[in-house]
Amino acid sequence: MRSAAAVCVLVALAATAAAAQQPNALGHWELLVGHSYSSARALMQPATFTLEKVEGSPLYSVLDVGALVRGSIAARSWIETGLRARAGSARPESQRLYGAMARVYRELDPVLVAVGGEYQADGGFDVHSLDATAELTPLGGLPGLGTWVSPAVHLRWRPWIGAAMGDGVQPYVRLSADWVQGRLEAGVEETAWLVSGSGRSYVKGDVSVQLLGGVFVTASGELGRSPPTWVHTGRIGLGLGFRLAPGD
């Protein structure tokens, strides 16, 4: 319960701080819904309700969804605050994930810098972490970085380098790539951390076919260890995806 309260406080503080910076900010805020709020691919990947197969376990149903609210705080800066949940009717508590974050971006062309705080917990709130994060990505400048490689090759990628500071300092790098062809979308995201001197990595991918508007049929998978539990997971799933974002 205390952890859940911390989540609410974090989000409320972020929203309040943003609103205080810009009195008429409510008119400039936007809501986005997708698979995750926290990564470079957050708004590309549809939120999903899937049936999945986990290594050594029976078939599970999984709801994986994130919501993000964005607003301005200055000409060159903006703030995002969000919630995410990975749950499901038959999913073990240890493999559920809840999180909240607030992050401020500062554009310093040719790079974009983001600093923020993130809270993550497992389903029972037995394992949780509260980290400060700082990360950076180049806005562009290399073939395919942030934009399609060419008019004929609809492939793009984006790297991030950062560090999470909570229980020690955990540097990480993240690389994501997207491919879009008509109604077909595919993407992969790999994150690698250095935790207490040893490397840990986590990769997730998805292939989606757009049915109508923001509704997709999505096949997704993941493999590796991710915070806060760092428990090894491997799964594949198939289900419905949905995405709510400007332009959809």
Partner 1 sequence: MRRKDDLGHSWTNGGVERAVIRIVRRLSPGFARKRITKKTRLHQDLGWDDYYPLRVVKPIRATLHEELEDRAVLELKTVGDLVACVWNAMEAPA
Residues near partner 1, by CB under 8 A: 28, 30, 40, 43-44, 70-72, 75-78, 105, 107, 109, 112, 137, 139-140, 143, 146-152, 154, 156, 158, 178, 180, 246-247
Block residue for tokens 């810098």: 113
Nearer to partner 1, 59 or 139 (CB): 139
* 86 contacts 220 by C-beta, under 8 angstroms: no
Q: Residue 18 in 3-state DSSP?
A: helix
Nearer to partner 1, 138 or 221 (CB): 138
CB of 20 to partner 1, least distance (A): 16
Q: Quote the CA–CA distance of 97 and 77 in Å, as a whole number.
A: 29
Block residue for tokens 């810009």: 22
Q: Residue 3 in 3-state DSSP?
A: helix
**Got the DSSP string for 67-128?**
EEEEEEEETTEEEEEEEEEEE-TT--GGG-EEEEEEEEEEEETTEEEEEEEEEEEETTSSSE
Could you tell me the two tokens for 3?
Answer: 């952890």
CB of 32 to partner 1, least distance (A): 9
CB of 85 to partner 1, least distance (A): 22
CB of 105 to partner 1, least distance (A): 8
Nearer to partner 1, 15 or 62 (CB): 15
Exposed/middle/buried for residue 36 (C-beta within 10 Å: 0-12, 13-18, 19+): buried
CB of 180 to partner 1, least distance (A): 7
Nearer to partner 1, 53 or 106 (CB): 106
Distances (CA, A) of 75 to 71, 79, 120, 198, 221: 11, 12, 30, 40, 38
CB of 67 to partner 1, least distance (A): 15
Q: Quote the CA–CA distance of 183 and 71 in Å, as a whole number.
A: 30
Nearer to partner 1, 137 or 226 (CB): 137
Nearer to partner 1, 35 or 156 (CB): 156
Nearer to partner 1, 106 or 225 (CB): 106
* 218 contacts 242 by C-beta, under 8 angstroms: no
Which residues does 194 contact at the CB level (< 8 Å), separation at least 6?
Answer: 170, 171, 172
CB of 156 to partner 1, least distance (A): 6
